[in-house]
Structure 1
Amino acid sequence: MKNHQKMEQLNALENEIKELRKTLMEKERDFEKLRKELFINQTEITAGLQSKETESMVKCGQLPKWAIERYSRQILLRDIGVSGQARICQARVLIVGAGGLGCPAAVYLAAAGVGEIGIIDYDVVEITNIHRQILHYEYDENTSKAESAAATLRSINSRIKVTSYNVQLDSKNALEIAKHYDVILDCTDNVPTRYLLSDLSCLTKLPLISGSALKMEGQLTIYGYRSDTHTLQKGSTYRGPCYRCVFPSPPAPDAVGSCSAHGVAGPVPGLIGTLQAMEAIKCILDVSPRKLLVERMFIFDAEDMTAKTVQLRKRNSMCAACSDSPTITHLVDYEAYCRAPANDKELDLHILPKCNRISAPEVSQLLKEKVDPYIVDVRADAEYQMCHIVGANNWPIERLNGENLDRLMKVVEDKEIVVFICRRGNDSQLAAKMVLDMLATDERHKVRDVIGGLHAWASDVDNTFPIY
């Protein structure tokens, strides 16, 4: 009873802390707003007094005093200088995705003084995001990612314009949003949006800086580059490949991984996102294409700390999107084209008949009744070690073949009820189907799959079970 009371007290304090953090965030935003207004007024007053009372003996060229002081360390670089910083301050960059890639990219672009940053994200901040999505804080949980990121960027640099788009980018709104920008950063992690952004890049003639990160690996390249000012090096009609040139057809939906399913080491998207910002700045500065990741892909492997740059396919002169006579002249339904959702949420598979599905509460009831079902947890070893139902047996689906599958079949044949489970109820269905396909017809009734997986167990049976 005492432990129960302590748990209630702990939950109450946790909720109170969340409310206090929200209040603190609101106060900080009010403070920043007032500070900015006061700073601008003081600047105007000081400038007026100087113009009336004294004649300045300093010539600051294209940049005002505050910009020289703020950005001096990068202005000192020969490749940037005063004219380069002026270009950066006038540039407009659209970042699609306020996650592991978009956050570090946005931080460095804002800090560099990019005049306007647009940031698109339809999702809300979750506690699982914070280990890599560095613009969000604990008190931002359940708030819009786009708005959370924008608020942090404004606190980093009050001199720039930040526009948040709390929407899911699609074929209906993409052109209207993109027309206000000069460069696009693809910081997403799903194939439909990559095709959408590539086609958008071709239609708007904007360079697309595309990054990806999964597990311990990251990749980066530039699609849709057009060389208008470096004719001596690449030719007056030179254009880099688009995403379709390199990947003419989308992969099968189940062949594409995601951070939520396979995990990611936080510094990996941090590195790739930072390099996306660097390539964006180089594009803004009109750096020669031979110094950009055009027709080249940067690949980083954190496991052994190696990096390499590989050559990509050249632009396909017959490409449906970027050729001189494209057949793709408008944005299409990319979810239908890729047969996958345009978000990073896991698929909700329905491949087993109802007679082979079971709810989490029903499994709990079987355990209470001492029916003793054989529970097959098909998650990877690392996931099983994080948390699992007491008594569950770990048979990772990635190794469920050959002798391992034969051994499982022998176990299944000896059991009265066999229950398959995974995190969300997708992999477990695939594993259960392998077994069902090998069982005799009169034995198939014993196999069950938990609908919704361990997430359903956590919400419907035991709320102390971690959701990840």
Structure 2
Amino acid sequence: MDRMNHLESEITELRQLLNVKEKELNSLRKELIQQYQTNVIQQTDNQHQQFEMQMNKSLYGDQLPKWAIERYSRQILLSDIGVKGQEKICTAKVLVVGAGGLGCPAAMYLAGAGVGEIGIVDYDTVELTNIHRQILHGECDQNMSKAESAAQSLRSINSRITVTPYSVQLSPTNAIEIISKYDIVLDCTDNVPTRYLLNDACLTTKKPLISGSALKMEGQLTIYGYRAENNPNEKDSAYRSPCYRCVFPTPPAADAVGSCSSNGVCGPVTGIIGSLQALEAIKCIVGHTHEQMLAGRLLLFDGDDSTFGIARLRPRSEQCAVCSDQPTITRLIDYEVFCKAQANEKDLDLNILPSHSRMSALELAQKLSSVKNHDARHLLVDVRNEAEFNMCRIDGAVNRPMDRLQGKKFQELLDEVRDYEQVTFVCRRGNDSQVVAKKVLDVIGEGHVNRVNDLNGGLHAWAKYVDANFPVY
């Protein structure tokens, strides 16, 4: 027993001595490393600067530092990228306009690839309806600036890059200043005025514009304003791809352009197009030629049958108002006036009907509750599409989708209106309901004019003032 206790005591002492010796050894190692580093630094001023850059964030140009080789090794292994390509990626500056369904995946892959500086432009804040497709934002980011939220997420993906958020709406007054700081611009917006603005601003600053769009189950992608003169790998240095105005000289009618908030969009579709935008940006950075990129070609994706197609765009127009040799537009203009449309998706409050033809949500609730059999006396017409109507509706409403109210369908609606003492048109925000009500009032007999109105503020107002459990989307 004594022998056992003695051995245990000796082992304890040896362990303590071992710990002391290990600490001495580690201390000696640190001293030797520091001495070695000091010797290296003192060799020459140039070596000193090089060492400091490698020990800190970056050294690009002649070689990649150890951390960059380790981090980006899987793409450096690609012959299309290699060390030289990665050096270009790490010094590149890319501006992503729109931190939504397209901008989020695009920016995420650019950050992962090591793009040296990424700018994010978005005036909007994060909403719950965004999160199903805008993957840089989470539930905890609601009501936060999208640009700031995206920037935080990108920094968490790659702390080695610079991310600059711009929580502003891009406009003719700030576009040139912002865009001129970057090498490539990604159009990840969803409205026509901003597309024309980006096109003209990128042409002015001679930046390639990688333009994507997604709606419902479909997506498109191309590169506008690409200049071969900036790429030494190009055989034809005179080549220039068409710009947005070459393809669309005049803007489409405002009511012919859909939006995600009105028509819906499948999240993975935006992910596919946004990822491809990042791919085109990387190819452009590393020096692919225009034949290898989507310059002068339009990629079409159909999510319904998961197919891709390519359409060749018309060449750059010699009569283009902006990119021709004799442009007629030489400065940025008011693009909302030019396109007769908004440059954002914020709720637009139309004022088509006079105030006496509009009913508040509380007034409608009182009328519906005071009518025992309002099917016979009060007709509530919901003009949203069938999918929206099936999603949520006011009890007793009938669905007459606005986009079907032509010809025979509209005549049937007029006959229906004449059979009721009161008719109230309803939509999501109180805009489409005014359009339909005005169309009815323009042709209905004078005896029915005072019987037709719409719900002011639409179902959003109903949810706010009458039924807090009614879904807002």
Quickly name the TM-score band, shorter chain normalised. 0.7 to 0.9
Give the drift of 1:50.
5.4
Task: Normalising by structure 2, report the TM-score.
Answer: 0.85
Does the 8 Å CA contact 2:233/2:289 hold for their aligned counterparts?
Answer: no
Query: For 1:311-347, what per-residue CA distance to the aligned partner results, in whole angstroms no more than 9, with x for missing partners?
Result: 1121111211111222222211111111111112343
Does the 8 Å CA contact 1:186/1:197 hold for their aligned counterparts?
Answer: yes
Over the matched positions of the two proteins, sequence identity in percent amounts to 61
2:328 match: 327
Query: What pairs up with 1:420-459 in 2 under 5 angstroms?
Result: 420-459=425-464
> Does residue 1:135 correspond to 2:98, yes or no?
no
State which drifts further: 381-390 or 344-353.
Answer: 344-353
2:27 match: none
> Does residue 1:390 correspond to 2:409, yes or no?
no
Aligned length: 422
Letter in 1 for 2:413: L
In 2, Cα distance between the equivalents of 1:178 and 1:48?
A: 45
Of 31, 48, 51, the residue aligned with 2:37 is: 51
Query: For 1:240-261, what per-residue CA distance to the aligned partner results, in whole angstroms no more than 9, with x for missing partners?
Result: 1111111001111111111011
Give the drift of 1:52.
4.2
1:405 match: 410
CA change 1:69–1:448 in 2 (3 A) is: same
Give the drift of 1:83.
0.2
Letter in 1 for 2:83: V
In 2, Cα distance between the equivalents of 1:311 and 1:177?
A: 31
Query: What secondary structure, in the 3-state scheme, does the structure 1 residue paired with 2:120 have?
Result: strand
In 2, Cα distance between the equivalents of 1:324 and 1:51?
A: 58
Of 448, 466, 472, the residue aligned with 1:467 is: 472
> Does residue 1:265 correspond to 2:270, yes or no?
no
Query: What secondary structure, in the 3-state scheme, does the structure 1 residue paired with 2:228 have?
Result: coil
CA change 1:54–1:197 in 2 (3 A) is: closer
> Does residue 1:299 correspond to 2:304, yes or no?
no
Give the drift of 1:87.
0.2
Does the 8 Å CA contact 1:108/1:277 hold for their aligned counterparts?
Answer: yes
Query: For 1:148-181, what per-residue CA distance to the aligned partner results, in whole angstroms no more than 9, with x for missing partners?
Result: 0000000000000000011111011111111110
Query: What secondary structure, in the 3-state scheme, does the structure 2 residue paired with 1:297 have?
Result: strand
State which drifts further: 303-312 or 398-407.
Answer: 398-407
Query: What secondary structure, in the 3-state scheme, does the structure 1 residue paired with 2:450 have?
Result: helix
Letter in 2 for 1:382: A
Does the 8 Å CA contact 1:261/1:346 hold for their aligned counterparts?
Answer: no
Give the drift of 1:140.
0.2
1:349 match: 350
> Does residue 1:90 correspond to 2:76, yes or no?
no
Letter in 1 for 2:74: R
Query: What secondary structure, in the 3-state scheme, does the structure 2 residue paired with 1:467 have?
Result: coil
Give the drift of 1:353.
2.5
Query: What pairs up with 1:178-257 in 2 under 5 angstroms?
Result: 178-228=179-229, 235-257=236-258
In 2, Cα distance between the equivalents of 1:246 and 1:436?
A: 39
Give the drift of 1:433.
2.4
In 2, Cα distance between the equivalents of 1:252 and 1:50?
A: 70
> Does residue 1:116 correspond to 2:102, yes or no?
no
Does the 8 Å CA contact 1:375/1:421 hold for their aligned counterparts?
Answer: yes
Give the drift of 1:193.
0.5
In 2, Cα distance between the equivalents of 1:406 and 1:325?
A: 52
Letter in 2 for 1:361: L
In 1, Cα distance between the equivalents of 2:64 and 2:437?
A: 66
CA change 1:393–1:231 in 2 (3 A) is: same
Give the drift of 1:51.
3.0
Query: What secondary structure, in the 3-state scheme, does the structure 1 residue paired with 2:258 have?
Result: coil
1:419 match: 424
Give the drift of 1:275.
0.3
CA change 1:375–1:94 in 2 (3 A) is: same
Query: What secondary structure, in the 3-state scheme, does the structure 1 residue paired with 2:350 have?
Result: coil
Give the drift of 1:438.
2.8
Query: What secondary structure, in the 3-state scheme, does the structure 1 residue paired with 2:229 have?
Result: coil
In 1, Cα distance between the equivalents of 2:360 and 2:216?
A: 31
Query: For 1:72-103, what per-residue CA distance to the aligned partner results, in whole angstroms no more than 9, with x for missing partners?
Result: 00000000000000000000000000000000
2:338 match: 337
In 2, Cα distance between the equivalents of 1:120 and 1:46?
A: 49
In 1, Cα distance between the equivalents of 2:73 and 2:237?
A: 35
Query: What secondary structure, in the 3-state scheme, does the structure 2 residue paired with 1:291 have?
Result: coil
Does the 8 Å CA contact 1:97/1:119 hold for their aligned counterparts?
Answer: yes
Query: What secondary structure, in the 3-state scheme, does the structure 1 residue paired with 2:305 have?
Result: coil
In 2, Cα distance between the equivalents of 1:227 and 1:54?
A: 44
Give the drift of 1:348.
2.6
Give the drift of 1:53.
7.3
RMSD after superposition: 2.2
Task: Normalising by structure 1, report the TM-score.
Answer: 0.86
In 2, Cα distance between the equivalents of 1:456 and 1:229?
A: 53
CA change 1:464–1:391 in 2 (3 A) is: same
Letter in 1 for 2:129: T
In 2, Cα distance between the equivalents of 1:49 and 1:215?
A: 63
CA change 1:167–1:84 in 2 (3 A) is: same
State which drifts further: 62-71 or 396-405.
Answer: 396-405
Letter in 1 for 2:339: C
In 1, Cα distance between the equivalents of 2:418 and 2:407?
A: 17
Unaligned runs of 5+ residues in structure 2 are 1-30, 42-53
Letter in 2 for 1:411: E
Letter in 2 for 1:456: A
Query: For 1:30-55, what per-residue CA distance to the aligned partner results, in whole angstroms no more than 9, with x for missing partners?
Result: xxxxxxxxxxxxxxx99966534799
CA change 1:466–1:49 in 2 (3 A) is: farther
State which drifts further: 343-352 or 441-450.
Answer: 343-352
CA change 1:314–1:391 in 2 (3 A) is: same
Does the 8 Å CA contact 1:118/1:162 hold for their aligned counterparts?
Answer: yes
State which drifts further: 117-126 or 396-405.
Answer: 396-405
Letter in 2 for 1:51: Q
Query: For 1:97-130, what per-residue CA distance to the aligned partner results, in whole angstroms no more than 9, with x for missing partners?
Result: 0000000000000000000000010110000000
In 1, Cα distance between the equivalents of 2:32 and 2:213?
A: 47
Query: What pairs up with 1:150-161 in 2 under 5 angstroms?
Result: 150-161=151-162
In 1, Cα distance between the equivalents of 2:136 and 2:352?
A: 39
Does the 8 Å CA contact 1:321/1:329 hold for their aligned counterparts?
Answer: yes
CA change 1:47–1:274 in 2 (3 A) is: farther
Give the drift of 1:211.
0.4
Query: What secondary structure, in the 3-state scheme, does the structure 2 residue paired with 1:180 have?
Result: coil
Give the drift of 1:233.
6.1
Q: Which has the larger radius of gyration?
A: 2
In 2, Cα distance between the equivalents of 1:306 and 1:138?
A: 33
